[in-house]
Amino acid sequence: MKKLLFALFISLIAGGLMSWHWENTQFSPVNKSDVVECLNMETLQAYKLEASTTGFAAMHITPIKVNAADLLGKMIQFDAADGKQANAYFIPAKKKSKKWLIVIQEWWGLNDHIKLEADKYYAALGDMNVIAVDMYDGKVAATPDSAMKLMRGADMGRMNAIIQGAIKNAGAEASIYSVGWCFGGMWSLQTAILAGPQAKGTVMYYGRPETNMDKLKSIKCDIIGFFGNQDQAPSPAMVNDFENNMKLAGKNLAVNRYEANHGFANPSNPSFNPTATADAYAKAIAFLKAH
């Protein structure tokens, strides 16, 4: 009897230890929404990693200062989707308009060069509200090193909330257009995705393409893109994949390629190409007017 009780006691101890070990080696259940969010942010995080490297920084030089004494707009604040305030450079349409162009900065931040670009688009397009969003919450880089540090600390979730807030600020009946360069080119495409049926036309200059097919299939507007054949961020191969993916998704994408390198449309960039810049700008304006 004693032996039986002893064996039963040992069995209970062993069972308890095994149960404790199993419970403590199991992971918490995976939340489906967390998986979806991770997949949705994959392209953005890939850009963040790339733009945080010295190789990417080497493609840029310290931006030149521009004469911004006669800017057309002013800085405003609006509510971002995360409940916090966001900043933007805003030029209202001369007459009340439901058309909104969201202008998105390069990796430098919302500097005077981007504000002047916003002014140019405003002057060319006429009856359109133009809002250049501040994706860095007031921070602006003056050197490649400082831009790289800003990118390393970038919160893509916060940036997503800023774009969503800009769309909501425009209003539920607004027609949303977007334009951006490099970092902003990537976010211009993301804006088309976030705006849903409100999106009416998107311009992206050498921005990282989206690779998630579900996101591409959700796009409701035409896209025009300008890319350099000598660029590696994105590379011609990435642009080819983007074209193929958009075709598979049944979307309209007009790709324009130039014998140019990264940043060819920025006078501060060592790869500035005035001929390609002029051609791309003319096509961008014609595209936006046609839509």
pLDDT tens for each residue of 133-192: 999 999 999 999 999 999 999 999 999 999 999 999 999 999 999 999 999 999 999 999
- Check: CB of residue 216 under 8 Å from CB of residue 249: yes
Q: What is the largest CA-CA distance in the chain?
A: 99
Per-residue pLDDT at 11: 53
Q: Which of 4-8, 36-40, 41-45, 82-86 has the highest mean pLDDT?
A: 82-86
Helix axes 42-51, 183-195, angle to 10 degrees: 170
Q: Which helix (H) or strand (E) holds 109?
A: none
* pLDDT of residue 23 exceeding 90: no
* 129-133 and 99-104 beta bridge pairing: parallel
Query: In which band, very low, low, confident or very high, does the pLDDT at 26 lie, cut at 50, 70 and 90?
Result: very low
Residue 73, CA distances (Å) to 57, 93, 119, 132 in order: 30, 11, 8, 10
- Average pLDDT value for residue range 7-31: 45
- Check: CB of residue 101 under 8 Å from CB of residue 179: yes
Task: Give percent above pLDDT 70 in the chain.
Answer: 86
Measuring CA to CA, which residue among 75, 77, 105 is closest to residue 166? Answer: 77
How many CA within 13 A on the CB side of residue 258? 23
* pLDDT of residue 240 exceeding 90: yes
pTM above 0.75, yes or no: yes
- Average pLDDT value for residue range 105-130: 96
- Give the number of other CB atoms < 10 A from CB of residue 175: 19
Higher pLDDT, 22 or 122: 122
Q: What is the mean pLDDT of the chain?
A: 88
Q: What CA–CA distance (Å, rounded) separates 272 from 171? A: 37
Question: Span 48-65+72-290: which CATH code?
Answer: 3.40.50.1820
- Give the number of other CB atoms < 10 A from CB of residue 53: 13
Q: What CA–CA distance (Å, rounded) separates 248 from 217? A: 9
* pLDDT of residue 15 exceeding 60: no
